Structure 1
Amino acid sequence: MSRIGVMFDRDRAPEELPAFAKAMEEAGIDDLWVVEDLGWAGSISSAAIALAATSRIRVGIGIAPAPLRNPALLAMELAMLARVYPGRVVGGLGHGVPEWMRQVGVERKAKLALLEESVVAVRGLLNGETVTLHGREVHIDGVKLVHPPAVVPPIVTGVVQPRSLELSGRVADGTIIPEGRGPKELAEALEHVRRGGASADHDAILFALLHVSDDPEAAEKETGELVRIQASWLGVDPADVFSLIGPASEFPAKVRAATEAGMTSLVLRPLGADPVGQVRATLAALTHPPTED
């Protein structure tokens, strides 16, 4: 595993973000991830706030829905951030939650085409190219950024299904594996990513629910509802949801298994009170795992 990141959970008040980002940087994490879920927060504004509050960490967008984001506008936004904060931005794109996309009137029929064409267009614009693309869903005619970034940010996708995973391997720099997927599912997903033609340095980014507690009943009160929601979305039993929920001493073995399955980046999503303390405890456990007798 090359990087450890932390997600700023969407349910936390936006005004907490600057202090949270600073605390995470001081704790020693590599990446901070912000979200773009309908009704919660915009990812570009969140990323700008986090970048301005810190000096070292990368900030990832996990993830912007392709139907909601015109690729030319998204490229302009990412270029602005990457020019001011070179080497500290990761752009994330996905299909978007269908129900949410319907709510705002942007759902598309050709979802795979839209995502692939969006990634191709955004990367071309960030590379300083004059982009003309008349695809099934994306239409750009001779557009070029006036201020392309010197350091082009990686573009990653947050996808789940086999054809989407192959798409990610074909056109993206990395793939986000959602909360709840464990080493077995991660390895299976990466088989599809490699089938798409992913390069050796393709980033396999595993998101994981985090709650540090030695009390199972207390942990259930804090995390049980979200675990059940995630299990329903994944179509699995709650007991089969992979997470870092429990004593921190149990986390190194889980992280080691995910790393052996192909994970290159781990993003923690702390749940409940004291997210900063939970992250610090987890980092300490991962840095100094317990020795076996």
Structure 2
Amino acid sequence: MTNATNVRIGVMYDRDWAPEGLPGFARRAEALGVDDLWVVEDLGWNGGVSAAAVALGATERLTVGIGIAPAPLRSPALLAMELATLARVFPGRLVAGIGHGVREWMEAAGVAPRSPLALLEETITSVRALLRGERVALDGREVRLDGVRLVHPPEQAPPVVAGVVRPRSLELSGRVADGTLIAEGHGPGDLENARALTVKGGAGPGHSLTVLSFACVGDDPDEVARLLHPHTEGHGAWLGRPQDEVFTVSGTPARAADAVRALHDAGAGTVVLRVVGPGPLDQLAALLTRIRG
């Protein structure tokens, strides 16, 4: 049996699933023994903070991650206020992901920044400082705050992680964030490169690496490939790599568990599964059984 018991296992509540199904899904995932549940904030789908609040309120121990809040759509002050509220009500159970946002979506919303790198750095730096209870005065390239301070900062500030892909953004994450969230499709070799770039940016040993991965668990390889195809095809185009090079956690429970172990060995502290196909929680249960015995 593959031994990957040290890795945290999370599951994504896919953006295409109806919001009203989130509370029940979160409770069932928690009952299976999942460590994390991640919600999505993509333009036109769901609000990440509100979805995180729903998932946290429906469960008792799950860590809930926001993956990711696009910096251009979010005022750092308001985002810190929202995160602080959740962190006070549900201490130790929140991870806040912040990223650039998809450029075309940010343009459609009329919020595309002049400098995405500056905006992300200034947003993450400001949000983390506000969550620590500091008074923030910043006259940056993209963010301006004049002595803002939270009245009710959390006793325990939640980790703020950067959801980024490109080399300069990975270095930025290592410099200013508590961890890095890696998008679907990246395999063990990609993680090693990402870790090296975050370290180049200044990341220490406590900088976490959380990896999203498409997952499909089943004994029929043709059916697994069919179910994964539209996801890996589209994601391969986005990543600029051939479809067959888009990494997935897939196949029989044993093969899927081996893929989780490979990600863990490459530096992933948490593997978050974006399960495709019917019965996502049944698939997850089969994989957890193989991993944890």
Structure-1-length-normalised TM-score: 0.96
CA drift of 1:220 comes to 2.7
Aligned partner of residue 165 in structure 1, secondary structure: helix
1:102 corresponds to which of 98, 102, 107: 107
Match of 2:149 in 1: 144
Tell me which stretches of 4 or more aligned residues in structure 1 moved more than 4 Å: none
What amino acid sits opposite 2:75 in the alignment? N
CA drift of 1:219 comes to 1.8
1:119 corresponds to which of 124, 134, 140: 124
CA drift of 1:217 comes to 2.3
C-alpha separation between the residues in 1 aligned to 2:11 and 2:204? 25
Aligned partner of residue 79 in structure 2, secondary structure: helix
C-alpha separation between the residues in 2 aligned to 1:185 and 1:284? 27
Instruction: Extract unaligned runs of 5+ from structure 1.
Output: 289-293
Contact 1:210 1:268 in 2 (8 A): yes
Q: Within the alignment, does 1:180 sit opposite 2:205 as a pair?
A: no
C-alpha separation between the residues in 1 aligned to 2:116 and 2:88? 30
C-alpha separation between the residues in 1 aligned to 2:222 and 2:266? 30
C-alpha separation between the residues in 2 aligned to 1:257 and 1:276? 22
Match of 2:213 in 1: 208
Instruction: Extract unaligned runs of 5+ from structure 2.
Output: 1-5
Which string of whole-angstrom CA distances, capped at 9 and with x for unpartnered residues, describes residues 13-71 of structure 1? 11110000000110101111000001110001100000000000110000000000010
Aligned partner of residue 244 in structure 1, secondary structure: strand
Q: Within the alignment, does 1:72 sit opposite 2:77 as a pair?
A: yes
Contact 2:7 2:264 in 1 (8 A): no
Match of 2:158 in 1: 153
Which string of whole-angstrom CA distances, capped at 9 and with x for unpartnered residues, describes residues 83-125 of structure 1? 1001111110000000100111000121100000000100111
What amino acid sits opposite 1:9 in the alignment? D
CA drift of 1:251 comes to 1.9
Superposition pairs of residues 260-275 of structure 1, within 5 angstroms = 260-275=265-280
CA drift of 1:2 comes to 3.8
CA drift of 1:156 comes to 0.2
Match of 2:50 in 1: 45
Which string of whole-angstrom CA distances, capped at 9 and with x for unpartnered residues, describes residues 232-267 of structure 1? 111111111110121111022222222221111110
C-alpha separation between the residues in 2 aligned to 1:45 and 1:199? 31
